[in-house]
């Protein structure tokens, strides 16, 4: 592993556009984000694959970073529809989200596939943002800890001595797109568990970023980011309006 060193624990705010956007909407959104610089936090947008090129052009002369929302576990080959980490690297991607709950749910991605994707990203110099999180049924059954630990342990074992290079995102499935945010205390409790699990695996755990995702909005961001083990956010819906996204980025310092 030989990633660009990052400032330890400086907050990171990542907009996950999901399957939203158009040439016109992207240009307006990116201009809004660029125009509101500087930020105290690191800021990134993860855009649909076809828009990587225009995003790279729009952000080239700025310190705003960009990435993708997935990548293949394979380097190359007969994998129709997939995009490799090497290709993302060619487009200047700093990040690739892997294991988002929408991919785990709708595309049946297993813990091991997610781990293999994270490894493929790191091998090409792209930082994986590895998502973990429990469903509402799992939380209500008292399984939150065992679920997120199981999801993260596959990645830790697969990345081995490079585990310290990933970014982790805790995204409780019941908080995604529902307007029902985890309380800062609920989120902090899980983040602390995840950091303890990382600490058992890598000496870099104290410097690693663990982002919270799930209905982050301008009016709840500051309280979430004030928690000791929350190092920023992975933002869905609110990342599509530049005023909201900028306000969330400003709430992190
Ligand atoms: P929302 O912010 O829309 O809840 O989405 C969160 C998310 O899934 C980010 O990856």
Rounded to whole angstroms, the Cα distance separating 68 from 123 reads 16
55-85 pLDDT tens trace: 999 999 999 999 999 999 999 999 999 999 9
Task: Give the distance (Å) from ligand 1 centre to CA of residue 228.
Answer: 21
What is the pLDDT at residue 8? 76
Atom nearest to 217 CA in ligand 1: 2
Task: Decide: 104 and 151 in contact? Cβ < 8 Å.
Answer: no
Point out the residues of the chain with pLDDT beneath 70. 2-5
Q: Would you say the CB of residue 237 lies under 6 angstroms from ligand 1?
A: yes
| Eight-state DSSP code of residue 183 | P
Instruction: Determine the residue of 97, 101, 134, 237 to mutate for testing ligand 1's pocket, defined as the one with the most ligand atoms within 8 A of the Cβ atom.
Output: 237
* Three-class DSSP category at 132: strand
* 144-159 and 111-123 helices, crossing angle to 10°: 40
Q: Would you say the CB of residue 215 lies under 6 angstroms from ligand 1?
A: yes
What is the pLDDT at residue 152? 98
42-60 pLDDT tens trace: 999 999 999 999 999 999 9
pTM for this prediction: 0.97
The residue whose C-alpha atom lies closest to atom 5 belonging to ligand 1 is 236
Task: Give the distance (Å) from ligand 1 centre to CA of residue 199.
Answer: 27
Q: Would you say the CB of residue 235 lies under 6 angstroms from ligand 1?
A: yes
Radius of gyration (Cα) for the chain, nearest Å?
Answer: 17
What is the pLDDT at residue 4? 66
What is the pLDDT at residue 5? 67
* 144-159 and 184-199 helices, crossing angle to 10°: 40
Task: Give the distance (Å) from ligand 1 centre to CA of residue 162.
Answer: 27
Sign of torsion, CA 148 187 98 198? negative
Cα separations in angstroms, 150 against 32, 100, 145, 194, 239: 39, 15, 8, 11, 29
The residue whose C-alpha atom lies closest to atom 7 belonging to ligand 1 is 236
Q: Which residues are catalytic?
A: 100, 171
Task: Give the distance (Å) from ligand 1 centre to CA of residue 211.
Answer: 12
């Amino acid at each position: 592993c030989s990633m660009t060193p990052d400032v330890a624990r400086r907050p990171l705010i990542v907009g996950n556009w999901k399957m939203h956007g158009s040439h016109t909407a992207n240009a307006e959104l990116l201009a809004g984000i660029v125009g509101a610089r500087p930020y105290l936090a690191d800021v990134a947008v993860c855009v649909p694959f076809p828009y990587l090129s225009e995003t790279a052009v729009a952000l080239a002369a700025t310190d705003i970073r960009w990435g993708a929302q997935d990548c293949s576990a394979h380097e190359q080959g007969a994998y129709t529809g997939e995009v490799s980490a090497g290709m993302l690297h060619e487009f200047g991607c700093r990040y690739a989200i892997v294991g988002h709950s929408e991919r785990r749910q709708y595309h049946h991605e297993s813990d091991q596939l997610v781990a293999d994707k994270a490894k493929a990203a790191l091998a090409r110099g792209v930082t994986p943002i590895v998502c973990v999180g429990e469903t509402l049924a799992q939380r209500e059954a008292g399984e939150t800890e065992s679920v997120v630990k199981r999801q993260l342990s596959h990645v830790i074992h697969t990345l081995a001595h490079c585990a310290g290079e990933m970014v982790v995102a805790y995204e409780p499935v019941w908080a995604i797109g529902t307007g029902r945010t985890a309380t800062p205390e609920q989120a902090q409790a899980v983040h602390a568990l995840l950091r303890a699990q990382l600490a058992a695996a890598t000496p870099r755990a104290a410097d690693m970023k663990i982002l919270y995702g799930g209905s982050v909005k301008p009016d709840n961001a500051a309280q979430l980011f004030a928690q000791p083990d929350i190092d920023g956010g992975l933002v869905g819906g609110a990342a599509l309006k530049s005023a909201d996204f900028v306000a969330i980025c400003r709430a992190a310092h």
